[in-house]
Amino acid sequence: MKKILVTRKLLQSNEDRLKNLYDVRLNSNDELYSEKKLIDMSEGCDGILSALTDNLDAKTINNLPESIKILSNFAVGFGNIDLDAAKKRNIIVTNTPDVLTDATAEIGILLILGACRRASEGIESARASNWKWSADYLIGKQLTGTRLGILGMGRIGKKIAKIAKSLGMIIHYHNRSQLSTEKEYDATYHKDLKSLLSISDVLSICCPASKETSNMINKETLEFLPRGAVITNVARGDIVDDEALIDALNRRKVYAVGLDVYKGEPNLNPGYLKHKSAFILPHLGSATKETRTAMANLAIDNLEEFFKSGKCKNKVN
């Protein structure tokens, strides 16, 4: 029987399935393993069901036991894994695409609504019972007729576009390549980032984290936005230069932000706390029972497919 290390606690139904399939080492305390402990715990294992919180960099991968043949990542992203290092060790890396699209897109829309309609300020006032209605109280930005720029029109970006269009938003997007007409939802394609940002009343960041997208939203590119734009991020924190975005908030270049992801999670840059217009969530994109169950099941499916055939359709390296 194959032996598997599971680095973070999963839902009970997923852990029960793993117990029936493998000799499995579970993380009952949901401890965030140090590099050394992860390496030690993987001794004698054939594979690791990892999480986005695991830093599987080149050093860690190079010190994994020779028995490790697969890293099945419990996430659609894989920026936590050094793919080149894994490939050199002949370790296959897989992810969990598709299953979290709907849940993450829902959070993407929540970020747009929360930031545009000043939800953080409203919640704070309601809890404090210190608000008084007036015609200009907490006036926000209406979505109908607003131009939404989507940075990265992948599965999640397309779902956000579909919902946003139903809310009356006018959709624009930038992608590595233009989508076919039937997949664009009548959106306008922009070949370069500057062109997209220049018309984005609201910017929804949905692109993958990579060397090319790291700090893509920075001091220079923020200036391309219309004054008073709203920025939301449902992708990865690495895409945004926090100091530059906070400076844009300070200068009122940016009206509000909606963030489900940010650098240094869970430690939020304190500069955001100075702004009531910052609507920030603790990485809830895939946080529904249905989605987390499906993600873990797909990660387990990836293990099964690999151990049966030596291949996996969800291989990313």
> Would you please indicate which residues are annotated as catalytic (active-site) residues?
236, 265, 283
Report the length, in residues, of the chain.
317
Amino acid found at 123: I
Yes or no: say if 110 and 82 are a contact pair by the CB < 8 Å rule.
Answer: no
Yes or no: say if 68 and 48 are a contact pair by the CB < 8 Å rule.
Answer: yes
Cβ count near 141 (within 10 Å):
18
CA max distance for the chain: 68
State how far the Cα of 197 lies from the Cα of 192, in Å rounded to an integer: 9
